[in-house]
A and B are shown apart, each in its own frame.
Chain A
Amino acid sequence: MLGDVNSLLEKSMPVKELNAIIKSAFYDNPFFTNLYVYGEVSGFKITNGNGYFTLKDKEAQIKCCMWGASPKDAIEEGTSIIARGKVDFWNKSGSIAFIVSEYMPTGKGLLFLEFEKLKKKLEAEGLFDESHKKPIPEYPKNVLVLTSKTGAVIRDINTTIRKNNPVINIVVRNVLVQGERAASDIVTALRNCDKLGYDVIIIARGGGSLEDLAPFYDETLVRTIYDMKTPVISAVGHETDYSLCDFVADYRAPTPTAAGEKVGYDWYGLVDQVKENMQRIVSLCNNQFERKSSRVQVLSHRLATASTTFYTRKVNKILALTSKLKENTNTIIQNKEGKYRELNAALDQLSPLKTLGRGFYSVSKDGKRVTSVDNLSVGDEIDIRGKDGTISAEVKKIEKEEK
Chain B
Amino acid sequence: MAEKKNTFEESLQKLEEIVRTLEGDVSIDEAIKLFEDGIKVSKECVDELKAEKGKLSLLTDEINNLTEELNIEK
Contacts and interface: CB of A to CB of B under 8 A. Distances in A.
Interface residues of B, number: 30
B72 interface: yes
Interface string A278-302: 1101100110010011011001101
A303 B72 contact: no
Nearest to B13: A299
Given A292-B8, A293-B49, A306 B22 contact: yes
Contacts of B49: 289, 292-293, 296
B10 to A, nearest CB: 13
Interface residues of A, number: 25
B16 A299 contact: yes
A310 interface: yes
Contacts of B28: 314
A289 B19 contact: no
A295 B14 CA distance: 13
Nearest to B23: A306
A268 interface: yes
A16 to B, nearest CB: 87
Contacts of A295: 12
B52 to A, nearest CB: 6
B contact patch SS: helix
B42 A279 contact: no
Interface in B28-74: 28, 31, 35, 38-39, 42, 45-46, 49, 52-53, 56, 59-60, 63-64, 66-67, 70, 72, 74
Contacts of A293: 49
A118 B15 CA distance: 84
B12 A303 contact: no
B72 to A, nearest CB: 7
Contact of B19 (A275, A278, A303): A303
A282 B31 contact: no
Contacts of A306: 19, 22-23
Interface of A: 166, 268, 271, 274-275, 278-279, 281-282, 285-286, 289, 292-293, 295-296, 299-300, 302-303, 306-307, 309-310, 314
Interface of B: 8, 12, 15-16, 18-19, 22-23, 26, 28, 31, 35, 38-39, 42, 45-46, 49, 52-53, 56, 59-60, 63-64, 66-67, 70, 72, 74
24 contacts: A166-B72, A268-B72, A271-B70, A275-B67, A275-B70, A278-B66, A285-B56, A286-B56, A286-B60, A289-B52, A289-B53, A292-B49, A296-B42, A296-B45, A299-B42, A299-B45, A300-B42, A300-B46, A303-B22, A303-B38, A303-B42, A306-B19, A307-B31, A310-B22
